[in-house]
Structures are given as structure tokens and as C-alpha cells.
Structure 1
Amino acid sequence: MIEGEFELPQLAQLGVEDQVFVTAFVRCHGSIKEMERIFGVSYPTIKSRLNRISQMLDFVETDPAPSRADVIDRLRRGDINAQQALSELEAGT
């Protein structure tokens, strides 16, 4: 048995209908025309629902700033110079 407090992933926190909608959107490869056909609703309805759902989800950073250790390691290896390292460290703060 596992005990503890755990937070559900964002998509799991959506209601069942919204989860079905997001799943359909992904399976349609983001085709709003296909979503119109599947759900039998208009383009503005699909867009409105997508906008509502997107506001419920936090943005996930897909290219996070490198950690200080990563920058220092790259500097030590000679992959970047001191000025580049300083720029990256300043940008990460």
C-alpha cells in the first residue's frame, strides 16, 4: 500500500467531459474541422471550449533555463566562454 498526499496531473484534474474533449483533440491532431464533425458543433464553439480548457492548465516550460551546475560544467569543458556563462546565469535568475 502507498500512502501520502499526491497531486493529480493537470489533465486528470479536468472534468470527464473536458478530458474526452482534449483526448479527441489530440487524436484529431488538432484539427478543429474534425472536432466540428465529431462533436457536431461550430468552429467558435470548439475554439471557446479550447480557450476555456487552456485557461485551466498551467503552461509547462518545455525549454527550461539550464541549472547553475550545468552552466558551470559547460564552462569547465570549454563549451561556452565566461561571458556566455554569465549571460546564462543572469537569465536564469
Structure 2
Amino acid sequence: MANDWQELTRLTQGEEIRVERVKMTRTGIALEGEFELPPLAQITSEDQIFVMAFIQANGSIKEMEKVFGISYPTVKNRLKRIADQLPLTESAPPRSNKSEILEQLSAGEITADEAIRKMS
């Protein structure tokens, strides 16, 4: 399956593509519509391989130096170049720390119920 994505990436040469049909192999159910590829599937196959290797190396730049035979700055620059192509993921808002919540509670800025909700 990974080779299929790499071949598709090579064939499209960076052109934007849309998937119009998705079939689940186990059930045979197919969905039709217009689906955008996930961001990682939109980067070049070489960059996909680099990202997979980085993950398998547990984020170790030293390991990436060994695997690819490149310098530390080259690994960092390539990771930055790839990261610049990918959108930031949305994440949950940061959770307040307990001392901040307790300060808000003592200052009367929030109720006890709000403090409990924020801490859970």
C-alpha cells in the first residue's frame, strides 16, 4: 500500500489531486464524493519516507544522520522544509494549572464549581 501512495505521488508530480471514491477493503463498502488527501499524503514520496524514518528513529536526529548519511544541520533543514509544507494541527486549548485555578478561585474570579470543572 505504501508503494501505491509513492507511485501516485510520483505520477502527480506535486499537482493537487482529489480522491472521489474510497472503498473499505474489509466490508467492500464504497463512499463516493470529493475527499482531500491528508497533508502527509500530499508531500513528495521522498519526504514521506524521511518522515517515516524520523518517526521510526523516535525523533533522533543523530539516528537520522546515520541512516541517511547526512549532517545534523541537513536533517534539521529538511525537517523544517517538510514542516513548512504541513498545516499546524488544531489542538485542545491548554489546560490551566492548578495553582492558577486556585488563585482565580481565591480572587473570586471563578466559582468552586468552575474550579472543579477546570481541574478535571
TM-score category of the 2 structures, normalised to the smaller one: 0.5 to 0.7
Alignment: residue pair count: 69
Whole-angstrom CA distance in 2 between matches of 1:34 and 1:49: 15
Does 2:109 correspond to 1:80? no
Pairwise CA RMSD: 1.7
What is the TM-score of this pair, normalised by structure 1?
Answer: 0.67
Q: Which has the bigger relative contact order, CA under 8 A and spacing at least 6?
A: 1
Deviation at 1:45, TM superposition (A): 0.7
TM-score by length of 2: 0.53
Per residue, is there more strand in 1 or in 2?
Answer: 2
Aligned to 1:2, the other structure's residue is in SS state strand
**Structure 2: how far apart are the matches of 1:15 and 1:36?**
20
Deviation digits for residues 63-90 of structure 1 (CA, Å, limit 9, x no counterpart): 148xxxxxxxxxxxx8427xxxxxxxxx
Which has the higher Rg, Structure 1 or Structure 2?
A: 2
Equivalent position of 1:63 in the other structure: 92
Query: Which residue pairs with 2:75 in the alignment?
Result: 46
Percentage identity across paired residues of the two chains: 57
Structure 2: segments with no counterpart, 5+ residues: 1-29, 95-111, 116-120
Matched, 1:28 2:57: yes
Higher helix share goes to which structure?
Answer: 1
